[in-house]
Chain A
């Protein structure tokens, strides 16, 4: 499953064999003297759902920003699929298949729903200047295929009816769905979801949970930051508890509940 383990020689960019598809090693990050991350380490197995929990200010958002390339790291390493991606730019990381969503909805307001999805197709034909100048004939076929694929996702997320609405015209819940389906259009291998259930009504949230579970069963790896413990409990194979910029505990939800330290620091509070 993990190439690096069966490949002792290693390619140039290989670092120490990674324990999972995504591994975070001793990450540090300071913001003007505040230690947002102070040595966070954990790993994520392929094909699992990992929940990242912890009180506000524990460093979850900083961690996501750092892993996805939006914040330059202080020190430490991010290893994705056996490759050290620390310090890569955000779009490079996304292209490698590590795609994130945002806490605040970030739909493209003046693009239609289906255009939102089409934007995410990697190397869409006609998305370079020269290809655009070759005209519709050159990219029409590929565009049709992407439209068809986008419609599959829209169907899956119940957005078919709003295909032609602008992003700004959707409800809060629909925007979250749009964002997840848009991320999926990029054919990610790892999906980083920053509070995907915020502002989503419970019924819809359950549907999203089902979709996420189905995606995992298809082999997708999902990491999510979430405050709603019920969802974490139902969804996650592994839970990583963060506090004060470090990882306090790691394990299944049942194990976490047993952990007195965690209960004291977080769950009980």
Chain B
């Protein structure tokens, strides 16, 4: 394989891993929790920014061409953890405000507005995160200590992302197969009835929102470690919509579906074309790609509203009377 093709696949795989993680987070929030998080991308952004400034080192010195706050030289893993927490904290603050309206579409409108305000403010306030130009030169994780060549390092990072995907999957799987998630789904179906059964709906919505926000930030931190730069251009509200497309196509409320959807929509349809080394991109081609994307969403919502892999019907095996009571709990049936 030529270097260009190897680089192509490294990029594609890294993006796919990041997108799968992001799609799981959004699926938790919207597919399972019913929260119309049109601000999703700002949580990925905060993770990327946090990981960037925490590894770039203090502003000034060799990086005088860009200004930002909170610069530090943290080890990458620590920066990753702090970035993830930053996403959770931002989600907590935003969620306390944005999830107040009773109607979920109103919540969505507030979140969309928050996302746009965030983009305007970060772009205009050059002193915070270097405004529209964004941050560049973010160190590659472990690059110095490994001393690998560009392509070897690329494959190493694909491995890092793969580990991250597995870790997030474990967390997501534990959460979504639990009684907690059942209550989250109940709240999605009918928040008023859930409240009447004693579930604290606002608190639970906030939990879902914060966990999703943290995972989104985690994905952003992973992404910036690979691409090395981050600017407002990377996190417009349109990016959030792309992730909605992924989970609508894959199947709302189904983790496997969300992953498949993100691979189909973003890896194959989107990045697959955009990063092809032999493909020159024009405005018209890009525009038609987005037209296609919009039509796919409409077609799916019309013909296959539950997506390619609908939410699974959870069945409970009959409890056995014998000493081995291990088989009684939810057997998921793939349909």
A: which residues have CB within 8 A of B? 68, 70, 89-91, 94-95, 99-102, 106-112, 114-116, 118-120, 122, 124-129, 131-136, 139-141, 143-144, 147-148, 163-164, 166-167, 182-183, 186
Contacts and interface: CB of A to CB of B under 8 A. Distances in A.
B105 interface: no
B100 interface: no
Contacts of A167: 189
A131 B175 CA distance: 9
A108 B189 contact: yes
B73 interface: no
B125 interface: no
16 contacts: A70-B192, A99-B196, A99-B197, A107-B193, A108-B194, A112-B313, A119-B183, A120-B198, A132-B178, A132-B181, A136-B177, A139-B179, A143-B179, A143-B328, A144-B328, A186-B198
Contact of B314 (A99, A100, A115): A115
B182 A118 contact: yes
B299 interface: no
Nearest to A182: B197
A108 B186 contact: yes
B311 A110 contact: yes
Given A102-B192, A108-B186, A124-B179, A95 B198 contact: yes
Nearest to A124: B179
Contacts, number: 131
Contacts of B183: 119, 124, 127
B178 A126 contact: yes
A131 B174 CA distance: 10
Nearest to B176: A132
Contact of B325 (A115, A118, A133, A144): A144
Interface in B315-335: 315-316, 319, 325-326, 328-330
Counting chain A CB atoms within 10 Å of each CB, which of B174, B179, B253, B315 scores highest?
B179
A214 B207 CA distance: 40
B122 interface: no
Nearest to B330: A143
A140 B325 CA distance: 9
Contact of A108 (B171, B175, B193): B193
A195 to B, nearest CB: 15
A95 B194 CA distance: 12
B329 A144 contact: yes
A183 to B, nearest CB: 7
B199 interface: yes
A136 B329 contact: yes
A132 B196 CA distance: 23
Given A109-B189, A120-B198, 19 more contacts: A70-B195, A89-B200, A94-B197, A110-B253, A111-B185, A112-B315, A119-B183, A119-B199, A124-B183, A127-B180, A127-B182, A128-B180, A132-B181, A135-B174, A140-B328, A140-B329, A143-B179, A147-B328, A164-B313
